Amino acid sequence: MASTPDTRAYKRVTRRELLKLAPLLAAGAFAVPPWQPALLGGGLAFTDWAAARLFRRAHLAPTFPDSAVVPIERFPFNSYVANDPGVDLDAWTLHIEGLVAHPGDYTLQQIQALPKVSQNTRHICVEGWNVIGSFAGARLSDLLAKAGADITARYLTFDCEDGYYETLDMATALHPQSLACYEMYGAPLARGHGAPLRLSLPTKIGYKSAKYLTGMKVTNVLEFKGYWEDQGYDWFYGL
């Protein structure tokens, strides 16, 4: 039977009212304790999926003039365990393994021999603060090329001297602003800022920029997501 004008209007109103009710229904679902983990996990998975689809390597994070950079004294130390895990800077190397043609231990001098990139970018912390800082180092893409990495692989994983750990998608690793950072404010990294090598990822939330790097692995399998991500935080978390 064909719909009359009244029944068509009723269907439109019904759909409209359902859309209005959707947030309330979702909130009600979250109020049911057994449903909360699945709903939260599904929501995080969806936001990560959506963010990854929107990410573009050609889309650059904003950069700023030197006049906008905060004094280094106002750039907070924000460490996983301590501001100085006791890295032996003279003996330090970065161990690179996985899907690479040239695995092994890379010295800071080898990394510093790669083209140096300096940029003033914003570091945004999940705790709610943000600062514009001055960073310099080698592009992660250049470090991957030096190691002969298979850039069709999906992920990079990172180990840190203080026990922190992190992972990245390959597209972010190849982004031209993603740095293996060994300098801030024109000087070698201070111990509190991750000496001798950290990540600087202006397209990501701050906890992705792991400090005190000791290992990097190129892989297609994620055995873990990251210290905070394994506790329920977003994995992709693009800005």
What are 52-68's pLDDT values in tens digits?
555 555 789 999 999 99
Residue 14 has a pLDDT of 47
On the question of pLDDT at 103 being above 50, the answer is yes
On the question of pLDDT at 204 being above 90, the answer is yes
Residue 15 has a pLDDT of 43
On the question of pLDDT at 195 being above 80, the answer is yes
Residues 88 and 125 in one domain: yes
On the question of pLDDT at 101 being above 90, the answer is yes
Asked whether residue 238 is domain-assigned, the answer is no
Residues 75 and 158 in one domain: yes
Cα–Cα distances in Å, from 23 out to 19, 28, 46, 57, 233?
Answer: 8, 8, 16, 33, 22
Residues 125 and 213 in one domain: yes
Cα–Cα distances in Å, from 186 out to 68, 78, 131, 135, 183?
Answer: 15, 20, 17, 8, 6
| Polymer length of the chain | 239
Residues 132 and 111 in one domain: yes
User: Residue 72: is it exposed, middle or buried by C-beta count within 10 angstroms (0-12/13-18/19+)?
Assistant: middle
Q: Which whole number is the average pLDDT over 181-195?
A: 97
Asked whether residue 203 is domain-assigned, the answer is yes
Q: Which whole number is the average pLDDT over 206-214?
A: 97
Asked whether residue 153 is domain-assigned, the answer is yes
On the question of pLDDT at 93 being above 90, the answer is yes
Asked whether residue 57 is domain-assigned, the answer is no
On the question of pLDDT at 139 being above 90, the answer is yes
Q: Which whole number is the average pLDDT over 183-187?
A: 98
CATH number at residue 221: 3.90.420.10
On the question of pLDDT at 8 being above 60, the answer is no
Residue 239 has a pLDDT of 84
Residue 57 has a pLDDT of 58
Q: Which domain holds residue 9?
A: 5-50
Q: How confident is the model at residue 135 (pLDDT cuts 50, 70, 90)?
A: very high
Q: Which whole number is the average pLDDT over 190-213?
A: 97
Residues 32 and 110 in one domain: no
Residues 115 and 227 in one domain: yes
Q: Which residues contact 177 (CB under 8 A, 6 or more apart)?
A: 60, 61, 117, 119, 121, 201, 202, 203
- Which one has a higher pLDDT value, 134 or 29? 134
Residues 134 and 32 in one domain: no
